[in-house]
Structure 1
Amino acid sequence: MTKIKTVIVDDEGRIRRGIERMVRSLGEEWEIVGTFSDGLEVYEAVLNHSISFDLLISDIRMPEMDGLTLNKKLKSYLSFLTIFISGYDDFEYLQTALRDGAVNYILKPIDKEQFQIQMDEVKQKIEKDYEEKQEWLSIQEKASQLEYTKQLQLLSEMTWKEEKDIAYLDWIRKFPNGCFQLIYISVDQIFSQTREFSPEDWKTWSKAVEAILVEKVAAFTQVQKINSWWWRGSKFSYWLLISREDNEDNQVFLSLSSRFAEELRVSIHQCTPFTASIALGDEFNDLALFCIMKNQLLALLQFRIIQGGNQVFQADLFEGLKAQKSKGISSSILKYTEQVTNSFTQGRKDALLQSLQGFFREIETISSPVMINEAVHYLLIGIANHWIENDGYSEEPDLLSDALTITNHAANFVQLKDNVKLWILHVMEKMADLKKERQNPIQVAKEWIRNNLGENITIKKIAQQVYMNPNYFCDYFKIQTGETILDYVTTARLEKAKELLEKTDLKIYDISLSVGYQDTKYFSRLFKQWLGQTPSQFRDQSIKLAANK
C-alpha cells in the first residue's frame, strides 16, 4: 500500500505536536509531509511548492486563514480527505465542515482511542479510493491501447488500398484533430546485400531495424509531445504518421521532423548492414488526404533511382527539379529534353512530337537499361515540374507517380515510347484545361457531386473537376462553405436517400446503392445518426403522415 500522506495544521504548537505523535504511532503506512501553524501557510505551500497529500487534519479557528476557508480553497487544486478539530462544540461549524467534505469533526481535547477509530476509517476510505482509481486507470489504459490498435489497423489498410469512395472516409473520425505528417522508411538494396543471409539473419536484422525505429520515434514524440503511429509496410519498409496541435509553428516543426528523419537514417546505417531512404511528406490538416500523401511519398522515394539511396527525400525536392542536371545524361539527350519541355510549355504539339522522336533516337543507342531509365525519368520529371509550377497550388503526386512507373511497366522499347508520348500529351491537355476560364469551383464541385452520388466519389476525383490540388481543395472548400467535403458528400447522399424513401417504392438496398453505399447496414447506421431514425422507420412514418392528410 502506498503511504498515506498527511498534513497537520493547528495554531497551537502543543496540540499540533500531539497530533503528530498520534499519527506516527498509527504505523509506517502514515507519512506526515508537513505541519503548519496556519491555513495560509499550507495554501502557499501548495501553490508555490506543489505539495500534495491524502489527508488534511486541521483546526477550524486560526488567525490568518481558518480551516474551513483553507479546505474550500484547496479543493479546487487537490483531491483529499479532511478531519476538522475544534475546541468549540458549535453545531453550525459542524454543518459547514461536513458540507465542505470533511470525513469527521473532532473536539479538543482529543481522545486517543476516538482519534485512532477516525484514522482507521480514513485509511479504509483512502485505500478503497486508491484501488478504485488504479482500477479505473487500468481500464482507461486498456481502452486506450485497444483504440490505438484499431487506429494502426486502419492506417495499415489505407497504405495498401487504393483511394476509396469518400463515404468510407468515416475512419478518419477515430483520430484526434491536428496537423499530420506522413513519413515512409525503406531499407535500400535489401536483396543484393542479404543474398547469403539465413532466415535467422533476416529475423535478427528485421528486429534490429524495428528496435531502432521504436527507440527514435519514442524519443522524438516524447520530447515534442506529439502523437505517433508506426506500422510495417512491406518487408523492411515502414510507415510513420505523426500528429501535432495546429497552434504550433509549422516551419519549426518541419525542421524538427527533418532532423529526426536524418537521425533515423544515420542510426540504421550505423547499426545494421543496410542503408535506408526516407521520404518526408508535407504537413496536412485533413486525414482524408492520407492516400494522396501516401502516393506522394511513394513517388518521392523513387528519386533514389536517379539520386541514389541512403538519403532523406523531402517534398520540396519536386520544386527544384527543373534546374537539376544529371551527370550521367549526354548533352544531346539534354538538348532534346529541353526542346521537348519548351514545346510543351508553349503548347506546340507538332514541335513536341518531333523533338520526342529525336529524344528517342538518342536513348535507343544506349546499351544500359539503367541509363535509359534515368534519361526517361529526367524528361518526365521536367514535364511534371512545369505542371506543378503552373498549377499554382502544390505538387500533383499521383501525376508524377504515374510517370515514374512508366519504365517499370513497359515490356519493350516501342511500348516505352508510346507510354511516354501518351503521358506527356495527357499532361499537355490538362495544362490547356487550366488555361480555360473557370467557373465557381465550389459550385462546380457541388454540382458534380450531386450528379454522381451513386458513383465512387473520391477527393481526387472532385478536385480534378475544378483543376485543384486535392490538399488545397479540401482547405478551400472548408473555408468557403464552413463544412468539410466529407460532411457535404454524406449530407447530399442522405438527403437524396430521404427523398427516394418518401417518393418511391424502391427497396432500401436499392436506395443505398443508388446513393453510393454498397453496405446497407452502414448506410442505415449513417441515416439514423443523421435523422434519428432508420430508413425503415422514416419510410413508415412518411406513409402514416401521407395517409392522415
Structure 2
Amino acid sequence: MTQIKTVIVDDEGRIRRGIERMVRSLGDEWEIVGTFSDGLEVYEAVTNQSISFDLLISDIRMPEMDGLTLNKKLKSHLSFLTIFISGYDDFEYLQTALRDGAVNYILKPIDKEQFQIQIDEVKQKIEMLYEEKQEWLTMQEKASQLEYTKQVQLLSEMTWNEEKDISYLDWTRQFPGGCGCYQLIHISVDQVLSKTRDFLPEDWNKWSQAIEQIIEESVEAEIQVQLFNSWWWRGSKFSYWILLHMEERSHDYEFLPRKFTEQLRVTIQKITPFTASIAIGHEFKDLALFSNMKYDLLTLLQFRMIQGGNRVFQADSFQDIKGQKSKGISSSILKYTEQVINSFAQGKKDELLRSLQGFFREVEALPSPLMIKEAVHYLLIGIANHWIENDGYSEDPDLLTNALTITKQAVNFIQLKDQVKVWILQVMEKMVGLKKEQQNPIQVAKEWIKNNLGENISIKKIAQQVYMNPNYFCDYFKNQTGETILDYVTSARLEKAKELLEKTDLKIYDIAISVGYQDTKYFSRLFKQWLGQTPSQFRDQYFKSTADK
C-alpha cells in the first residue's frame, strides 16, 4: 500500500523527538509529514498549507490548543485516525478522547513495545480503511461508467429517432440540468462513396476504428481538460456526434469548441485517407431541444455541397452565406437573385414571380448542370437566410434540407423551375404567419396543449402555434411561467388523467392513451412519481372518500 502519513504533536521536545524516532524505525511505509509543538500549529498548517495525513499522534494537554480541541476541529473536514499521549491523571480526558473517535491512547512514559503494539493495530485499521476506500472508488467508477453508457445509448437513440411526443423527453432528466449550456457537434467523413472502390471491407473497419479512436482521444485530451462534460457516439456509417456540457460558461468558451473541432478535422485528415466536415450548433440550455439541434447540424452540413468539404461549419455560417458570391455565378443571375429575395422579404408575390422568371431565363442558358445547381442553391440559401434572420428557421428544421434536394430530384428544367417556385411561395406563406402578432403566446401555447393532450405533442409543434423559434420558446416559457415546457405538458396530462379517473369508468389503458401515453406502465409509473399513488390507488381512494361523505 502507499505510505502512512503521520503527524506528531507534543509540547515537550524530548517526547516529540522520541516518538518521531520510534515511528521512523517502523520502516519506509511510515512517512512523517510534520512534527509540531502545539495543536494550534497543526490546525494552521492544515488550513493554510492543505496538509493531509492518515494518523495523528498527539499529546492531550498543550498550552495553545489541546489535543482534544485539535482532534475535534480537524475531524470536521478531514478523515484520519488518532492516538493520544496522556499522563495517568488524564482519565477524564481519555474518556472524552475515546468518545471523539480516538483509536487508542498511550500512557507516559511511553513504552517502546507497547507503542509497537498500538501502531500495529492502527496500521491494520488504516489498511482496512484504505481498502474500503479503494473498493468504494472502484464501485463509483463502475457506476459512473454504467451511467455514461446509458446516457450514450439514449443520445444514440434520439439521433436515429424522428420527432417524438414530448413525453419521451423524460430521458433528458438523466443528464445535467438547471445550469450551464449544451452544444452539439456532428462529424461526417467526406466522399465516402467515391472511395468505395479503393478499399476492402476490412479496410473500412480499420479506418472506422481509427477515426473513432481519434475522436475518443481528442475528447479526453482536449474537452475534459477544459472541465466539460462530454459524450460521443456513432451515427450512420462514418458519421459521429459529440455533445458538450459546461456548467459554468468561461469567457473563452465560444473559442474552445471551434479550436477543438478544427484540430479534430486536421487530425482525421493527417492520420486517415479521408477528410471530414464538422458542424457546430448553437449553444442551448434545455436538452429537450436536442432533436432540433440535430436537424440544424444535418442541414448545416449541406453547405459542403456549395463550399466543399474538409471544413468546420458553425451555425452562424448561415449569416455569412448572404455576403458570399460564387465566381461561377454571373452578375445578371446575381441581380435577379437579389430581386427575388427583396420581393420575398417585402411579401410582393407578383414582383417575386417576375424576378424569378428572369432568374430562370438566365440560368437556363448556363452550359453545365453543375453551374445550374450552384445558381439555384445560391438562391435557395438566400431565401433561407432571410427566413433565419426573422427567427423562423427552426420552426421548420428541414426547410433548407428539402430545398437543396430539389436539384437532385428534378428530372428536367421545367420541373426544377416549378419545384423552386412552389418552395419559395410556401416559405413566403410561412413568413406571413410568422409575422402575425401574438397577444399572449404563453396562453396560446397552453390552450393548444390542453386541446391536444392525446395527440403527439412536440416542442416544435407547440412553438409553431406562437411563431417562435423552439429554442427561444423554451427559454421564454420557463422565464414567464417558472417551469419547463416538459413539466407543464406532463402536469396538464396528469391533471386530465385525474379528472378522467374521478368522473369516468374508463380503463387505465384507455385513460393513458387519451392523455398521450401509449405505454400504460410508463403512464402509471409517471403518475405515481408525480402524485404519490398509482392511477388505480388514486381512483380507489377517490371513490372511498366520496362514499364516506
Q: TM-score range by the shorter chain?
A: over 0.9
Residues 53 and 391 (structure 1 numbering): CA distance in 2 closer, same or farther, change over 3 Å?
closer
Give the counterpart of 1:202 among 178, 201, 204. Answer: 204
Tell me, yes or no, if structure 1 residue 156 matches structure 2 residue 122: no
Q: Residue 7 of structure 1 contacts residue 35 of structure 1 at CA under 8 Å; is this kept in 2?
A: yes
Shift of 1:411: 4.7
Equivalent runs, 1:30-429 vs 2, <5 Å: 30-177=30-177, 178-249=180-251, 252-366=252-366, 368-391=368-391, 397-429=397-429
Mean Cα deviation higher: 326-335 or 286-295: 326-335
Shift of 1:60: 1.2
Cα shift readout 1:451-490 (whole Å, capped 9, x = no counterpart): 0001110000000000000000000000000000000000
Residues 139 and 411 (structure 1 numbering): CA distance in 2 closer, same or farther, change over 3 Å?
farther
Amino acid corresponding to residue 148 of structure 1 in structure 2: Y
Q: TM-score, normalised by structure 2?
A: 0.95
Cα shift readout 1:31-80 (whole Å, capped 9, x = no counterpart): 32222222233223223332221110011122332212221222233210
Cα shift readout 1:430-454 (whole Å, capped 9, x = no counterpart): 2112333322000000000000001
Mean Cα deviation higher: 95-104 or 500-509: 95-104
What's the secondary structure of 1:134's corresponding residue?
A: helix
d(CA) in 1 for partners of 2:538, 2:402: 46
Q: Which residue of 2 aligns with 1:452?
A: 452
d(CA) in 1 for partners of 2:87, 2:544: 74
Cα shift readout 1:360-386 (whole Å, capped 9, x = no counterpart): 343344453332322221111111111
Identical aligned residues as a percent: 80
d(CA) in 1 for partners of 2:159, 2:467: 25
Residues 253 and 448 (structure 1 numbering): CA distance in 2 closer, same or farther, change over 3 Å?
same
Mean Cα deviation higher: 100-109 or 336-345: 336-345
Shift of 1:262: 1.2
Shift of 1:189: 1.2
Cα shift readout 1:254-290 (whole Å, capped 9, x = no counterpart): 1121111111111222222221111111100000000
Amino acid corresponding to residue 496 of structure 2 in structure 1: K
Amino acid corresponding to residue 507 of structure 2 in structure 1: K
Amino acid corresponding to residue 149 of structure 2 in structure 1: T
Cα shift readout 1:15-43 (whole Å, capped 9, x = no counterpart): 12222232233344333222222223322
d(CA) in 2 for partners of 1:218, 1:396: 35
Shift of 1:407: 2.9
Tell me, yes or no, if structure 1 residue 516 matches structure 2 residue 516: yes
d(CA) in 2 for partners of 1:338, 1:395: 24
Q: TM-score, normalised by structure 1?
A: 0.95
Amino acid corresponding to residue 438 of structure 2 in structure 1: R
d(CA) in 1 for partners of 2:390, 2:380: 16
Instruction: Tell me how many residue pairs correspond in the alignment.
Output: 547
Q: Which residue of 1 aligns with 2:530?
A: 530
d(CA) in 2 for partners of 1:193, 1:498: 59
Identify unmatched segments of 5+ residues in structure 1: none
What's the secondary structure of 1:253's corresponding residue?
A: coil
d(CA) in 2 for partners of 1:50, 1:545: 61
| Cα RMSD, aligned residues only | 1.9
Cα shift readout 1:188-218 (whole Å, capped 9, x = no counterpart): 1123245222223222222222222222211
Amino acid corresponding to residue 18 of structure 1 in structure 2: G
Identify unmatched segments of 5+ residues in structure 2: none
Shift of 1:529: 0.7
What's the secondary structure of 1:34's corresponding residue?
A: strand
d(CA) in 2 for partners of 1:454, 1:395: 22
